[in-house]
């Protein structure tokens, strides 16, 4: 009897909550061993993943720190000896909304640092590990605002457009090397960020949510699991000829 094939290994950045958490649990359900990175504690997610019979560990990582990301991916390789999938969902909202000329340098740098620099560092080091192991698939999580613009969000829109461009460039760089790179562009999604907005200002938050939903043809928020399902597919053999794609999962938002 031949030995069982080793389990595939997935890295999830931003895996403590929201879309990243849903992705982590979806990959665990598919039988992937997991390495979860987040600036917050993701041990609870790792524990839930282990209930699927896989190996999982969590590390506190600031993805805007390139050295920290490099060390994290090195730890993944040391532990598992392979890396098959990288799903990079770590991100923050632009913390100060306003027209371009009024956004502070600090907010710009913080937003770009996490949402674009962090994706670059993760993509770079994941690809290096995948090349070492014979191939893999990277899925970077951008936003509907990686495909279209939104007012009063210049740093966020710039970062998410940058994620799309970076991912397409990387897809071309490694198209013949066994590494595929794609992008997910979610629309409004029911995450703790939305809950926080509603809790902080129930009246204003609800009005903002209703206005946002009116712009989505499906008139609803996505569930994080719906975004995760797309990430699992993009990393699977069913998507073996898919690379350089920016896939909207947005209830029709960018189709208008």
DSSP 186-227: E-SB--HHHHHHHHH-HHHHHHHHHHHHHTSTT-SPBPHHHH
Domain residue limits, the chain: 9-187+223-248, 190-221
Based on the residue annotation, tell me whether 156 is a catalytic residue of this protein.
yes
Length of the chain: 256
Using CA atoms, how far apart are residues 13 and 150, in angstroms rounded to an integer?
A: 25
CATH superfamily of 9-187+223-248: NAD(P)-binding Rossmann-like Domain (3.40.50.720)
Q: How does pLDDT run along the chain (256 residues), one tens digit per residue?
A: 455 667 999 999 999 999 999 999 999 999 999 999 999 999 999 999 999 999 999 999 999 999 999 999 999 999 999 999 999 999 998 888 899 999 999 999 999 999 999 999 999 999 999 999 999 999 999 999 999 999 999 999 999 999 999 999 999 999 999 999 999 999 988 887 666 655 555 656 677 778 878 888 999 999 999 999 999 999 999 999 999 999 999 999 999 9
Q: Among 251, 216, 247, 250, which residue's Cα sits nearest to residue 232?
A: 247
Using CA atoms, how far apart are residues 166 and 93, in angstroms rounded to an integer?
A: 19
Active-site option among 121, 156, 174, 253: 156
């Amino acid at each position: 009897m031949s030995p069982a094939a080793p389990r595939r290994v997935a890295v999830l950045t931003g895996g403590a909550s929201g879309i990243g958490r849903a992705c982590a649990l979806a990959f665990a359900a598919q039988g992937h061993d997991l390495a979860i990175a987040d600036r917050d504690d993701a041990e609870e997610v790792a524990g839930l993943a282990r209930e699927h019979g896989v190996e999982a560990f969590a590390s506190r990582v600031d993805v805007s720190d390139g050295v920290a990301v490099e060390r994290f991916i090195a730890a993944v390789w040391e532990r598992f000896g392979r890396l098959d999938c990288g799903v990079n969902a770590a991100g923050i909202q632009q913390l100060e909304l306003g027209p371009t000329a009024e956004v502070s340098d600090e907010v710009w740098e913080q937003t770009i640092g996490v949402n674009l620099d962090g994706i670059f560092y993760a993509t770079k080091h994941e690809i290096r590990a995948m090349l070492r192991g014979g191939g893999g698939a990277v899925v970077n999580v951008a936003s509907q605002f990686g495909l279209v613009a939104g007012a009063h969000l210049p740093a966020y829109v710039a970062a998410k457009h940058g994620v799309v461009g970076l991912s397409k460039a990387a897809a071309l760089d490694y198209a013949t090397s066994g590494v595929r790179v794609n992008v997910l562009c979610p629309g409004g999604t029911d995450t703790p960020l939305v809950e926080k907005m509603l809790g902080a200002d129930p009246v204003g938050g609800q009005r903002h949510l209703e206005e946002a939903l009116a712009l989505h043809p499906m008139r609803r928020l996505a569930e994080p699991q719906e975004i995760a399902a797309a990430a699992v597919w993009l990393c699977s053999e069913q998507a073996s000829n898919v690379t350089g794609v920016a896939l909207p999962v947005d209830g029709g938002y960018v189709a208008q």
